Amino acid sequence: MQVIDVVHHGIDYDLCSKIMMIKERLKQRLHEKFRRKCLLLVNARYDPRKGFPLLSKALELVDSTHHGKFMVLIHSDKYPIDFKAKRYCIHISKFGDLDYLEVLKLMASVDYLIFPSVCEGFGLPLLEANAVGTPAIHAWFPPLSEFSSKDFNFVFNYMDKKLAKPSSGQYWVFHIYDPEHLADMIKFAIDTYRDSREEYEEYCAKAHEHTQKWDYREVYSKLVKHIGVV
């Protein structure tokens, strides 16, 4: 088949703007629960593409210098065994426990999204986090680099690419990075949140404004035209 266009995922910008109006209240509630630490969210399914082993190593490095300054909240289908021993990690909710609106509110309540993935079809949670004003920490590779921005997200380069073929038959391109680079960026993000709050708030506002380009009313209009609905 001939490819005629690329239509990205979209977000509901109006809905995310409404969440932005109560963002501070949501953050205050969650921060009181976790003693006002810098809160980092991982919203990802537990599979080889999502980079959990690299994240595990990176968090150990972060804890060695920033112990007691952060908490990692994990929203996933399962809680990886090696994360259970980390006192700075908690499996806050499981896929299916929260409806979509509550997931967006959770992403608005934290200070950063950690997106440790090495391979993505698109990377929608990253876009959703930005849409509710939450900066993200992630490796800079496509397709994330097609909609993310270095202006407000905390990004780092990958080192190598590796081709993987799972049982499903499709090929995956893994973008391998050094967990120390992820750790350094997490530390930098924590320090920015704690010591440069005005700069951090600027990043949050820029993230939300940036995602207006990916409002589903704009993005999906191309798809509607291609299939002849309008």
Cis geometry, peptide bond prior to residue 80 (ω within 30 degrees of 0)? no
Residues in the chain: 230
Give which of 122, 114, 126 is closest to 179, Cα–Cα: 114
- Number of neighbours of residue 69 by Cβ within 10 angstroms: 16
Supply 194's token pair. Answer: 């704690």
- Which pLDDT band holds residue 107 (cuts at 50, 70, 90)? very high
Taking residues 105-125, report their average pLDDT: 96
Distance CA 67, CA 229 (A): 55
Class assignment of domain 13-215?
Answer: alpha beta
| pLDDT at residue 33 tops 70 | yes
Tell me the per-residue pLDDT of 186-219, one tens digit each, with 9 for 90 and over: 999 999 999 999 999 999 999 999 999 999 999 9
pLDDT of 230: 65
- The conformational region for residue 96 under phi > 0 = left, psi -120 to 50 = alpha, else beta, is left
Give which of 63, 73, 68, 181 is closest to 118, Cα–Cα: 181
What are the residue boundaries of the structural domains of the chain, listed by start? Answer: 13-215
Taking residues 25-29, report their average pLDDT: 96
Taking residues 29-48, report their average pLDDT: 93
Tell me the H-state helices in the chain.
13-21, 23-33, 52-66, 81-84, 100-109, 124-131, 144-147, 179-195, 197-210, 216-226
Output phi, psi for 100, to 5 deg: -60, -40
